[in-house]
């Protein structure tokens, strides 16, 4: 299972993107893309020694081998959790997942709502090839929904809405239609690391962390996440305006990911959607994303939406929707859900916020009791925790080892490196889980931090042999790719 | 009667405004080209008369002006061409008056002022740089809208018995609309509606284990696999085109290619090109019966060898062979023998074989046996054989977005699942699919017999009409389509005429697919989807007959005119 990371190779320091593209000229064109991949093939064995890449017996293309290499790294972490998932009855000593950002607090409400009779509608047009932008009835509902919850000064228009099967697909499609191969988006760090994969897999677009012209890469846009992940920060209108003006000055597209917009559980925090601004500095280059994965705790439903006034962008994204479509029946259910303003306002949101707040309070108090500093915000599903005092030398290797110790003590967290955080020692704790799991998870965290964990203090021997700089990217990928695997469903 | 005689060489199916816009772009282009020619001529004259000029400096200045103007005109031309190419359905912001004004302005400044070439150049560049889409984004949009604009027109103006009796009838998109009643009923049964926690959370990106198990069982049973198929070899994505796109990504590098016998479903060409930049190289099959071609469009190993050889000669890197069985649009079913030969050919050349069996349960003549590639005792090259199946055609639920890959190659299965999060299916839908596939009793006793019966009836109705019209067609008993030969309505028999006839069908609110879209080598073939409800099908066939009658009248008039001229 750990075969790959144990090979003595140096993984590229960031993700798939930079590696694929580091040799790219800035010119465009299909054949260049081909050239890039070929170069990559020759280059990688030199960079390290990934087994697959040097194997002559592989059935895959060179980009296929590349994707597999990264995917296997991701799978490694994925399987660790998957094979040993915590279950109160069946596997009480299994791993608790406080690493994946999912809201598991409101399943009862959701399942009740989704089981109501209005959700079971079936009609021929839902079973046939759709309008690839999403059924009109759904796009109308999305426009109304966003108008209301984003407090848009004018009604938003259904023709500016494109519906896809998830935020990942949307990032991928936007990267493809806005950037050439090898170009980049600017993104403030720490950020939700999976975006790196989303923009790279098909799009071959990379992320630039700080500077506009970093490493001679052409920056095409800026990605903002609001509320921010992992910080939980909410941008004020002034800040938002400032970022947008900056982007306009540099002719950058801005992708605003507002996937946590209804998960602001602290009433004192005023959330402002970019769609609520009276005037956007550059409406043609401002593209808003929203999805039900987080705010409605349904990451398995695969529903995301783009809102952009730019017809060309909407059209281009819609051209890719054939590959990122979702079932007509689910589209119908989503329309029903978004339309039910009474249920959302009176049942779901108050309850969801109350539960998020309670869970947040519990974890914050636990942390305070341990004397651990953290960023306390009133939005999102996570707390950004400062564990620097547990790293004597303050290196990423130690961060990694600490993360391993948590995992060995059966609690999965996300570490700062996965978010491209500059300082070693930060961790993201996801708190939006059921109380019993959360309590157990925190207990295991405490055991590790107070040195009372069941496992040996020393990390696994096989892991100590690892060259120190390899794990960062391996683990980074692990986290990028690791969503919470499902429990097998009982068939009846 | 005929709209074709009206105007210009513009396909008659376009709307008036579009014709006008195309016209204006056309004239603008001509105009710009004319100016370009003029300017170039002057440019050369100036260069030639260099010695005659007294003041060298003024001369250089003049040349710079000329160059600036030249490049600006070129820019304008490219802009016009681009706006023409991407215009698709929506009017572009580029207004024709503006650009024409620009041209005149350019002409004027050349005479009067002293324009600085540098800012002008960057102006032109700016129009490219500030385009909101990347080049590939523009390509994708253009490719999509050129391929699907008629489909989109249909989506906006669908026929409805009461609400829109003049709307489009679609016999061009391969959808089975005959059993929607059965499906709707089945999908409303109580076992279909399940909301479990795991269904709402991040899934296994290969597809939920319960669904992959069910798919493996289903394929074992219906493909008559000699041994139970392994759920670990199954990857489930949101549609067969997604499966194909992912396969093209992981089996080929950009610029590499697959071989594909044509006529062939064009959607796959689109899928391999869009993201993966993989080309499809046609193996052209012929309709004429000869010594080696014992039936129309026969696929032989010799043809495959020849096509492979030629492609390699041209420096193409061929990585695989794509087969559809039952074939779309021919409806041919490969015998186990020929299938084996194709697979052996592929093995000989280390080619992957992607076999699309998406119509495997739509064989409506019970005397014909379909042999899935998964039914073979031993595959020549199991690690390079990849089977694709989905519910869109066999169960008539294209709106469900479900496609499955079955491959013995663990490496391929694992890396295709890396695309899972970009092509994932909702957990709730996965549950429904699982329930659908596991109920083999309903499938065997209710669904399949009814579906076969209705397909047979619809096929019988359409082919009877075709016989009455003396239209030759490929008579097969599988799939949702008939491959028909309308050559006799084309004079001359060219792809342009085929396109015009296609437009004429469209004018009569009938959507068909023409042979060109299936990469057919011979003009004049059309694909007609018959799997539609009888009332709609009847009306569609009436429109079909009307068009052909009209076309025939035109041909007669044309022949008369030709005769008169002689």
Domain match, B525 and B403 both = no
Interface check for B253 against chain A (CB to CB < 8 A): the answer is yes
Distance of CA B397 to the CA centre of its chain: 19
Count the neighbouring beta carbons within 10 Å of the beta carbon of residue A211. 10
More confident residue, B29 or A289: A289
Tell me which of A127-136, B230-239, B402-411, B507-516 is least confident.
A127-136
pLDDT at B96 over 80: no
* pLDDT tens, position by position, A317-341: 998 998 999 999 999 999 999 999 9
ipTM: 0.81
pLDDT at A19 over 50: no
Domain contains B409: yes
Domain match, B255 and B356 both = yes
Last residue of a domain, one of B401, B416, B444: B444
B156: domain CATH number?
3.90.1150.10
Domain total of chain B: 2
Mean pLDDT across chain B: 83
Query: Measured between CA atoms, how close is A153 to chain B, in angstroms?
Result: 25
Smallest Cα–Cα separation from A443: which of A83, A93, A91, A105? A93
- The percentage of residues in chain B with a pLDDT greater than 90, rounded to a whole number, is 63
Q: What pLDDT does residue B44 have? A: 59
Helices (H), A219-301: 237-249, 292-295
Interface check for A157 against chain B (CB to CB < 8 A): the answer is no
Q: At what angle do helices B495-507 and B534-565 cross, to 10 degrees?
A: 130
Query: Measured between CA atoms, how close is A286 to chain B, in angstroms?
Result: 11
The boundaries of the domain holding residue B433 are: 189-444
Last residue of a domain, one of B381, B409, B444: B444
- What the block records as the tokens of B75 is 């820019």
Domain match, B319 and B466 both = no
Q: What pLDDT does residue B63 have? A: 61
Please give the sequence-ordered ranges of beta strands (E in DSSP) within A101-167, or none if there are none. Answer: 161-164
Interface check for A72 against chain B (CB to CB < 8 A): the answer is yes
Domain contains B339: yes
Which residue bears the tokens 């004020």?
Answer: A236
Domain match, B309 and B162 both = no
Domain match, B233 and B158 both = no
Domain match, B395 and B521 both = no
Domain match, B207 and B173 both = no
**Residue A363 contacts residue A408 (beta carbons within 8 Å):** no
**Site from A37, A75, A129 to mutate, B interface, most B CB atoms within 10 angstroms:** A129
Interface check for B199 against chain A (CB to CB < 8 A): the answer is yes
CA distance A83 to A485: 9
Name which of A61, A202, A486 is nearest B252 (Cβ-Cβ): A61
Q: Would you place residue A45 in the very low, low, confident or very high pLDDT band (cuts 50, 70, 90)?
A: very low
Q: Would you place residue B72 in the very low, low, confident or very high pLDDT band (cuts 50, 70, 90)?
A: low
Asked if B135 lies within 8 A of A310 by C-beta distance, the reply is no
Q: What is the mean pLDDT of residues A54-81?
A: 75
Name which of A31, A176, A318 is nearest B136 (Cβ-Cβ): A176
A89: three-class secondary structure by DSSP: coil
CA distance B53 to B30: 33
Nearest CA in chain B to A172: B422
* pLDDT tens, position by position, A212-266: 445 567 889 999 999 999 999 999 999 999 999 999 999 999 999 999 999 999 9
Domain contains B60: no
pLDDT at A75 over 80: no
Smallest Cα–Cα separation from B276: which of A63, A315, A69, A168? A63
Domain match, B222 and B336 both = yes
| Geometric angle at alpha carbon A406, from A400 and A407, rounded to 5° | 90
Domain match, B431 and B530 both = no
Which residue bears the tokens 């639920």?
Answer: B397
Residues of chain B contacting residue A115, judged by C-beta atoms under 8 Å apart: 193, 195
Q: Is the peptide bond before B479 cis (omega within 30 degrees of 0)?
A: no
Domain match, B155 and B196 both = no
- What the block records as the tokens of B200 is 């709402």
Specify burial of residue B50 (Cβ count, 10 A radius: 0-12, 13-18, 19+): exposed
* pLDDT tens, position by position, B458-479: 999 999 999 999 999 999 999 9
Domain contains B131: no
Query: Measured between CA atoms, how close is A34 to chain B, in angstroms?
Result: 5
Q: What's the length of chain A?
A: 492
Domain contains B71: no
Domain match, B160 and B219 both = no
Q: Are strands B525-529 and B481-485 parallel, antiparallel or unpaired?
A: antiparallel
Q: What pLDDT does residue B270 have? A: 81
B344: domain CATH number?
3.40.640.10
Q: How far is the CA of A334 from the CAs of A76, A167, A291, B239, B331, in angstroms?
A: 34, 15, 11, 20, 38
Q: How far is the CA of B199 from the CAs of A119, A229, A312, B202, B435, in angstroms?
A: 16, 24, 35, 8, 14
Count the neighbouring beta carbons within 10 Å of the beta carbon of residue B125. 12
Residues of chain A contacting residue B398, judged by C-beta atoms under 8 Å apart: 127-129
**Site from B127, B200, B233, B319 to mutate, A interface, most A CB atoms within 10 angstroms:** B200
Q: What pLDDT does residue A195 have? A: 86
Kindly state the helix (H) or strand (E) to which residue A19 belongs, with its residue range: helix A16-21
**Residue A429 contacts residue A112 (beta carbons within 8 Å):** no
Nearest CA in chain B to A100: B202
Asked if A329 lies within 8 A of B187 by C-beta distance, the reply is yes
Asked if A111 lies within 8 A of B274 by C-beta distance, the reply is no
Specify burial of residue B241 (Cβ count, 10 A radius: 0-12, 13-18, 19+): buried
DSSP per residue over A101-113, as a string?
Answer: ----S-HHHHHHH
Last residue of a domain, one of B374, B409, B444: B444
A224: three-class secondary structure by DSSP: strand
* pLDDT tens, position by position, A263-317: 999 989 889 999 999 999 999 999 999 999 999 999 999 999 999 999 999 999 9
Q: What is the mean pLDDT of residues B540-564?
A: 93
**Residue B503 contacts residue B11 (beta carbons within 8 Å):** yes
pLDDT at B457 over 80: yes
Residues of chain B contacting residue A174, judged by C-beta atoms under 8 Å apart: none
Domain contains B166: yes
Q: What pLDDT does residue A200 have? A: 87
Domain match, B311 and B425 both = yes
């Amino acid at each position: 299972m750990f075969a790959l990371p144990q090979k003595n190779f140096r993984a590229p320091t960031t993700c798939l993107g930079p590696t694929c593209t580091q040799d790219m000229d800035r010119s465009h064109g299909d054949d260049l893309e081909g050239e890039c991949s070929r170069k990559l093939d020759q280059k990688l064995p030199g960079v390290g020694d990934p087994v697959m890449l040097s194997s002559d017996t592989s059935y895959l293309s060179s980009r296929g081998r590349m994707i597999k290499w990264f995917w296997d790294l991701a799978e490694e972490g994925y399987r660790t959790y998957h094979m040993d998932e915590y279950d109160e009855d069946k596997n009480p000593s299994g791993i608790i997942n406080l690493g994946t950002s999912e809201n598991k607090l409101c399943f009862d409400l959701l399942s009740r709502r989704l089981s109501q009779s209005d959700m079971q509608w079936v009609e021929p047009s839902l079973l046939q090839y759709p309008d690839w932008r999403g059924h009109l009835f759904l796009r109308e509902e999305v426009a109304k929904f966003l108008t209301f919850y984003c407090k848009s000064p004018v009604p938003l228009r259904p023709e500016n809405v494109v519906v896809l099967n998830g935020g990942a697909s949307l990032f991928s499609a936007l990267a493809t239609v806005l950037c050439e191969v090898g170009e980049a988006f600017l993104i403030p760090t720490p950020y939700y690391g999976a975006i790196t994969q989303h923009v790279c897999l098909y799009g071959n677009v990379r992320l630039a962390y700080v500077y506009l012209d970093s490493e001679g890469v052409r920056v095409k846009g800026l990605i903002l996440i609001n509320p921010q992940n992992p910080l939980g920060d909410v941008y004020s209108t002034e800040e938002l305006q400032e970022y947008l003006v900056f982007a306009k000055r540099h002719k950058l597209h801005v992708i605003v990911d507002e996937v946590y917009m209804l998960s602001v559980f602290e009433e004192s925090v005023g959330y402002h959607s970019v769609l609520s601004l009276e005037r956007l500095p550059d409406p043609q280059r401002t593209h808003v994303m929203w999805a039900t994965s987080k705010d409605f705790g349904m990451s398995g439903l695969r529903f995301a939406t783009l809102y952009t006034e730019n017809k060309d962008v909407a059209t281009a994204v819609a051209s890719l929707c054939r590959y990122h479509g979702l079932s007509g029946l689910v589209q119908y259910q989503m329309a029903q859900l978004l339309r039910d303003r009474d249920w959302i306002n009176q049942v779901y949101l108050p309850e969801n916020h109350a539960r998020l707040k309670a869970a947040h309070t519990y974890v914050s108090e636990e942390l305070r009791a341990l004397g651990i500093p953290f960023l306390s915000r009133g939005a999102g599903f996570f707390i950004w925790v400062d564990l620097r005092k547990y790293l004597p030398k303050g290196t990423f290797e130690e961060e990694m080892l600490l993360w391993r110790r948590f995992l060995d003590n059966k609690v999965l967290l996300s570490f700062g490196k996965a978010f491209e955080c500059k300082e070693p020692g930060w961790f993201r704790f996801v708190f939006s889980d059921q109380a019993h799991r959360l309590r157990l998870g925190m207990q295991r965290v405490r055991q590790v931090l107070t040195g009372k964990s069941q496992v040996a203090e020393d990390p696994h021997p096989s892991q100590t042999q690892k060259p120190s700089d390899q794990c960062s990217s391996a683990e980074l990928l692990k986290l990028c790719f690791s969503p919470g695997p499902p429990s097998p469903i009982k068939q009846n | 009667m005929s709209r074709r005689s009206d105007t210009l060489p513009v396909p008659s199916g376009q709307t008036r405004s579009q014709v006008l816009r195309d016209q204006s772009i056309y004239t603008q282009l001509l105009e710009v080209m004319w100016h370009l020619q003029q300017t170039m001529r002057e440019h050369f004259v100036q260069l030639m008369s260099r010695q005659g000029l007294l003041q060298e400096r003024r001369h250089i200045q003049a040349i710079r002006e000329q160059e600036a103007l030249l490049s600006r005109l070129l820019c304008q031309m490219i802009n016009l061409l681009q706006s023409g190419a991407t215009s698709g359905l929506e009017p572009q912001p580029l207004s024709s008056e503006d650009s024409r004004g620009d041209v005149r302005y350019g002409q004027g400044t050349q005479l009067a002022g002293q324009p600085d070439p540098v800012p002008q150049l960057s102006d032109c560049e700016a129009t490219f740089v500030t385009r909101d889409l990347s080049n590939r984004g523009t390509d994708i949009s253009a490719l999509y809208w050129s391929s699907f604009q008629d489909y989109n027109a249909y989506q906006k103006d669908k026929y409805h018995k009461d609400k829109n009796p003049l709307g489009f009838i679609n016999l061009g998109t391969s959808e089975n609309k005959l059993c929607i009643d059965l499906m709707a009923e089945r999908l409303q049964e109580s076992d279909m509606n399940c909301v479990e926690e795991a269904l709402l959370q991040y899934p296994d990106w290969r597809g939920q284990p319960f669904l992959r198990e069910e798919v493996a069982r289903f394929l074992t049973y219906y493909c008559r696999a000699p041994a139970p198929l392994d759920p670990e070899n199954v990857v489930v994505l949101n549609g067969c085109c997604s499966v194909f796109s992912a396969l093209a990504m992981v089996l080929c590098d950009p610029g590499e290619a697959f071989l594909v016998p044509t006529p062939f479903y064009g959607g796959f060409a689109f899928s391999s090109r869009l993201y993966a930049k993989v080309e499809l190289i046609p193996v052209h099959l012929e309709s004429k019966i000869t010594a080696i071609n014992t039936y129309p469009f026969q696929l032989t190993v010799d043809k495959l060898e020849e096509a492979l050889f030629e492609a390699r000669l041209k420096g193409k890197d061929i990585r695989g062979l794509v087969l559809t069985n039952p074939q779309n649009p021919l409806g041919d079913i490969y015998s186990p023998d020929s299938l084996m030969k194709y697979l052996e050919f592929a093995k000989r050349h280390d080619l992957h074989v992607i076999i699309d069996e998406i119509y495997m349960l739509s064989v409506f003549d019970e005397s014909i046996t379909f042999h899935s590639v998964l039914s073979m005792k031993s595959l020549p090259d199991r690690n390079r054989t990849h089977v694709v199946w989905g519910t869109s055609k066999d169960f008539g639920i294209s709106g469900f977005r479900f496609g499955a890959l079955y491959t013995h190659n663990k490496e391929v299965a694992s890396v295709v699942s890396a695309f899972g999060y970009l092509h994932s299916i909702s957990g709730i839908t996965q549950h429904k699919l699982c329930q659908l596939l596991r109920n083999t009793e309903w499938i065997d006793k209710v669904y399949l017999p009814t579906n076969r019966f209705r397909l047979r009836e619809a096929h019988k109705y359409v082919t009877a009409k075709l016989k009455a019209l003396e239209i030759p067609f490929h008579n097969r008993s599988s799939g949702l389509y008939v491959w028909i030969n309308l050559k006799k309505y084309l004079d001359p028999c060219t792809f342009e005429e085929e396109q015009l006839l296609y437009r004429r069908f469209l004018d009569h609110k009938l959507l068909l697919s023409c042979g060109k879209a299936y990469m057919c080598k011979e003009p004049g073939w059309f694909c007609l989807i018959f799997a539609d409800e009888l009332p709609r099908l009847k009306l569609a066939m009436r429109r079909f007959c009307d068009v052909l009658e009209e076309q025939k009248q035109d041909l007669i008039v044309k022949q008369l005119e030709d005769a008169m001229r002689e």
